A = this chain, B = another copy of it.
Amino acid sequence: MASLREKIRIASGDGMADLLIKDGRVVDVFSGQIEKKDVAIFAGVIVGFGDYQAKKIVDVKGDFLCPGLIDGHVHVESSMVTIPEFARAVLPNGTTSVVIDPHEIANVHGREGIRFMAESARGIPLNVFIMLPSCVPATNMETSGATLKASALRPLFKEPWAIGLAEMMNFPGVIFRDSEVLKKIETAKGRPIDGHAPMLSGKRLYAYLTAGIRSDHECTTLKEAKEKLKNGMWIQMREGTTARNLKDLLPLVTTKNSRRIFFVTDDRHPKELLKEGHIDSMIRQAIHLGLDPILAIQMATLNAAEYFRLDGLGAIAPGYRADLVTFDHLGRFRIGKVFKDGILVAENGKMLITPPGRKGLKVGLRVRGSVRVGPLKKDAFLLRSNQLLAKVIQLIPNQIVTKKVMKKIILKEGVAYPNIKEDILKIVVVERHKATGNIGIGFVQGFGLRNGAIGSSVAHDSHNLVIVGTNDHDILKTVNVIQAMRGGLVVVSDGKVLSSLPLPIAGLMSESAVPQVYLQLEALHRAVRKLGCKIPDPFMALSFLSLPVIPELKITDKGLVDVNQFRFVPLFGEG
């Protein structure tokens, strides 16, 4: 690596730069202007503009040049791929930096999972900064693979990649001053602390802010975003696969406040990464909705860099990292070339290089073998009951909240069965981290399966196994298949696997690339549809049924949870 001395020397015009990008119209995010000038790069850093000698020249022929794009908050695990594969998917879209919250893998593997993410980001042409997960586990009503207390986070903050504390979802814990929550905040002091506070307003919001939390990505209405912004929160405008807030929040942006707003995706599934893109898609959408392209680019670059204090990122200027992208037109914003650290890594939507991490990703044994289910008896899922009425989790289309309804199940000789005609199926959560043998059993309405079962090791937030099925035999088969795959998604019918997607890394991520994972997901969806299910993404619906912080009725490995009362409730009967 060239020394600072060498970089300064080349910048001063004494010696050859590595690369000169000629004839670009450079978007200057500091002044908000565009200027035609050549950009000189040496040792991965922009060293100057104009007339430089260089070993290599790339003529971008009048295309626009803007800084590499930044995703300010993303759970890579939601894309079901490793970081090197995620990089391969987003680099052609112009993303050169991501701020990740490895919340999902941390729930499975704790610090080891976070370190795995940091390790797997080494050497790849994508800047990966890690916000340390603040809420592992999400609740004590479930068995997670790990618990991260403040004392466990403290040593991690010494790592160069750990830049702050990730979304503080436990806002009641802040407002009501839970000791462990406050310890985490105090441990992170001086670094960015991300918020996650849907609908929080007034004094409860002030209490949350007084703790030092400075951003939020959960705004869904303009009113909410306005209140949060004026009270000091940076607004992370989100456009994920399901949570899509850009359109509603865009009217928030003015020239006076835009500096406090930037773009995040939070969760993007393989399909949307492939079909829509990444942060580039948000810029396109914002411009299409009428935002000044310069402001949109500032939001996607400099603003995030300033919030996270990422020195030398988010702009095209001497001393800044040579992360740049070309695009054709201010109105269209289609990404052409992508330079990472001064190397042309992608062009016209295609990677030009194979990120080193892709070949050499060393996956730790534990991270690869996270699924440990206790011994299951043949009748493990048998439900004995003498009551006909059960509390049933009722899906609400396209939402992660559910309804709690009382429904009749089928009762035969003291055993409770799904009522398939009424679409009341059995749901099972099997603890899979510590082989405790914990099993939560309940009923769910809305999947529409007429036979078979579907299951997943992606189940928020503790990622136990969650299975919905029409019969115990297929449910057991589903558990066994997931275990054999070391995690993943599967569709079973009559004891046969119709389709499956192995997710051997922490039970969350595939080793394949995004397009392959997408095709496998499509195959899974087709298989589920054949069983009668009409939900567009049944595995996502499934994955939220185990999250006992989202109302009304959820299920964990420890049992059925009435979220409104925040307590376990018996499956059968009222109360």
Residues of A within 8 A of B (CB): 4-5, 7-9, 11-13, 28, 30-33, 35, 45, 47-50, 174-177, 182, 185-186, 190, 202-207, 209-214, 226, 229-232, 254-257, 259-260, 294-295, 298, 306, 309, 311-312, 315, 317-320
Q: Which of A177, A203, A209, A257 counts the most B-chain CB atoms under 10 A from its CB?
A: A203
- Does A32 contact B210, Cβ atoms closer than 8 Å? no
Q: Of B185, B209, B318, which contacts A210 at CB under 8 A?
A: B318
Which residues of the partner chain B approach A309 to less than 8 Å between Cβ atoms? 309
Residues of B within 8 A of A182 (CB): 4-5, 8
- Check if B254 sits within 8 Å of A203, measured CB to CB: no
Q: Are B232 and A30 in contact (CB under 8 A)?
A: yes
A210 touches B311 (CB 8 A): no
Ranked nearest first, the 4 interchain pairs of A and B with the lowest CB-CB distance are A32-B256, A232-B317, A48-B206, A12-B207
Given contacts A47-B210, A232-B320, 7 further A-B contacts (CB under 8 A): A11-B206, A33-B256, A47-B206, A210-B319, A212-B319, A232-B315, A255-B256
Are A206 and B260 in touch, CB under 8 angstroms?
no
For A229, give its contact among B13, B31, B49, B232 (CB under 8 Å): B31
Are A210 and B45 in touch, CB under 8 angstroms? yes
**Chain B residue with Cβ nearest A189:** B311
Given A32-B254, A255-B256, A317-B232, decide whether A211 and B4 contact each other with a Cβ distance below 8 A.
yes
Assembled-state Cα–Cα distance A211/B315 (Å): 16
User: With contacts A230-B30, A256-B294, A257-B30 known, is A209 near B12, CB below 8 A?
Assistant: no
Compute how far the CA of A59 lies from the CA of B312 in the bound complex, rounded to whole angstroms: 45
- The complex places the Cα of A49 from the Cα of B210 at a distance, in Å, of 12
Main SS at interface, chain A: mixed
Cα-based distance from A186 to B186 in the complex (angstroms): 29
Q: Which residues from B are CB-within-8-Å of A30?
A: 229-232, 257, 260
A177 interface neighbour in B5, B254, B295, Cβ under 8 Å: B5
- Chain B residues, Cβ within 8 Å of A190: 311
Give complex CA distance A47, B202 in Å: 11
Q: A11-B210, A204-B12, A257-B30 are in contact. Are A35 and B312 (CB under 8 A)?
A: no
Query: Can you spell out 8 A-B residue pairs with CB atoms less than 8 angstroms apart?
Result: A4-B182, A4-B186, A5-B177, A9-B177, A11-B209, A32-B254, A190-B311, A309-B309
Once bound together, how far apart are the Cα atoms of A151 and B204, in whole Å?
Answer: 48
Nearest chain-B residue to A203 (Cβ)?
B13
B312 adjacent to A230 (CB under 8 Å): no
Contact of A174 among B8, B33, B185, B205 (CB under 8 A): B8
Bound together, the chains give a CA A320 to CA B185 distance in angstroms of: 15
Instruction: Give the complex CA separation of A50 and B257 in angstroms.
Output: 23
Which of chain B's residues have a CB closer than 8 A to the CB of A207? 8-9, 11-13, 47-48, 318
How far does the alpha carbon of A35 sit from the alpha carbon of B190 in the complex, in Å? 29
A230 to chain B, nearest CB (A): 5
Q: State in angstroms the CA–CA spacing of A202 and B51 once bound together.
A: 10
- The interface centre, meaning the residue of A12, A45, A174, A306 with most chain B CB atoms within 10 A of its CB, is A12
For the complex, give the distance between the alpha carbons of A328 and B298 in Å.
35
**A177 (CB) vs chain B CBs: closest residue:** B5
Which residues on B sit within 8 Å (CB–CB) of A31? 226, 229-230, 254, 256-257
Q: Which residues of B contact A174 (CB under 8 A)?
A: 8
Residues of chain B within 8 A of A186, CB atoms compared: 4
In the complex, which residues of chain B have a beta carbon less than 8 angstroms from the beta carbon of A45?
210
Q: Decide yes or no: A317 and B231 within 8 Å by CB, A32-B257, A210-B47 being known contacts.
A: yes
**Which residue of chain B lies nearest to A9 when distances are taken between CB atoms in the complex?**
B177
CB contact under 8 A between A212 and B312, given known A207-B12, A232-B320, A306-B306: yes
Report the minimum CB–CB distance from A261 to chain B (whole Å).
10
Cβ contact within 8 Å between A8 and B48: no
- Residues of B within 8 Å of A175, CB to CB, are 8, 12
A444 to chain B, nearest CB (A): 37
